[in-house]
Amino acid sequence: MPDTPFIDIRHAAKSFGSLEVLKDINLQVQKGQIVAIIGPSGSGKSTLLRAINELDPLTSGEVWLEGVQVNKKLSHSQYEKHVNQVRQDIGMVFQHFNLFPHLTVRGNITLAPKLLKGISTEEANRLAEEQLAKVGLSEKIDAYPSQLSGGQKQRVAIARALAMKPKVMLFDEATSALDPELVEEVNLVMKQLAQEHMTMIIVTHEMGFAQDVCDRVLFMDQGVVVEEGPPDVIFRNPENERTRNFLRKHLAAQK
């Protein structure tokens, strides 16, 4: 076990005006760990995830990745440089895919590596082919996002994030917008990443997936981590009343 956690979130707090959405959250993730964050909507789980790459900066508290503080207080131009750098190490996958509709699948995957890592077009193309093979979409390399199904779009979005060779992947309800029959293909890709020991933080509504894949589960409600532990404990034998209520309602809704 390394002494310093790979990802270290200390006393994270965030408020919008008088509304506190995160209250003193601490989260440590080790390299290769897979953490699921579950909880009702409005619990702050997406906000916490989006704080990790400064998409929704914290009001107070610190976020560290591999000994580097992500949310450093810097002058505007230095801050911009700094976040542009650290974000390259933090891949993110969104609920609504957010593929670039004016670019082909290849263009989507190669845009950032070409611009930010200065790699040649041939290298970028190889990278795109490699990542697409990984998500099983090699034949779609020249398609536009509008020609893909939801599940395919999300797999391309994952390939796009992986092309930057991130140290950690953040998934923000990556399957919530998908038709039920398309969820599995995305889950499979995520499971494969898990097998490759990618460090992942996954905000999800899919308890089955969280149980199968994750090392740890956090249950959040009203801006605090109510309970956390191994999936077996959280899903089978949660201590907290709020966790039990949430899981009961959730499972009832899924039936």
Partner 1 sequence: MDIDLILRVYPFFIEAAWVTIQLSVLTTILGLACGALGAAARMSRLAVFRWIGAAYVSVFRGTPALIQVFILYFGGPQIGIQLDSFAAGTIALGVNIGAYMTETIRGAIVSVDKGQTEASRTLGMSRWKTMRYVILPQAMRMMIRPLGVNINALIKGTALVAPISVVELTYTAQRFIGSTYKPFEMFLLAGLLYMVIIYVAGQGIAWLDRRARIT
The span from the CA of 116 to the CA of 111, in Å, is 8
Q: Which is nearer to partner 1, 115 or 251 (CB)?
A: 115
What would the DSSP string read from start to end of 141-159? TT--GGGS-HHHHHHHHHH
Q: Could you tell me how far CA 208 lies from the centroid of its own chain?
A: 17
Q: Which of 13, 112, 119, 247 binds partner 1 (CB under 8 A)?
A: 112
What's the distance, Cα to Cα, between the start and end of the chain in Å?
40
Using CB under 8 A, which residues numbered 234 to 253 contact partner 1? none
Binding piece for partner 1, criterion CB under 8 A, among 93-101, 146-154, 202-210, 236-244: 93-101
**Nearest to 112, CA basis, from 51, 157, 173:** 157
Which segment (6-14, 86-94, 196-204, 239-247) binds partner 1 by CB under 8 A? 86-94
Distance CA 160, CA 220 (A): 29
Near partner 1 by CB under 8 A: residue from 28, 98, 125, 138? 98
Q: Is 177 among the residues that bind partner 1 (CB under 8 A)?
A: no
69 binds partner 1 (CB under 8 A): no
Q: Which stretch binds partner 1 (CB under 8 A): 64-72, 95-103, 213-221, 243-251?
A: 95-103
Q: Does 143 bind partner 1 (CB under 8 A)?
A: no
d(C-alpha 248, C-alpha 104), whole Å:
43
| Bridge-based pairing state of the strands 216-221 and 7-16 | unpaired
Can you tell me the distance from the alpha carbon of 97 to that of 242, in angstroms, rounded to the nearest whole number? 31
Does 80 sit near partner 1 (CB under 8 A)?
Answer: yes
Residue 116 touching partner 1 (CB under 8 A): yes
Within the chain, residue ranges assigned H as helices are 45-52, 76-87, 105-117, 121-134, 150-162, 180-195, 207-213, 231-236, 241-254
Asked if 68 is part of the footprint of partner 1 (rule: CB under 8 A), the reply reads no
Please tell me whether residue 16 binds partner 1 under the rule CB under 8 A.
Answer: no
Q: Which stretch binds partner 1 (CB under 8 A): 22-30, 87-95, 214-222, 223-231?
A: 87-95
Contact set with partner 1 (CB under 8 A): 53, 55, 76, 80, 84-88, 90-92, 94, 96, 98-102, 111-112, 115-116, 157, 160-161, 164
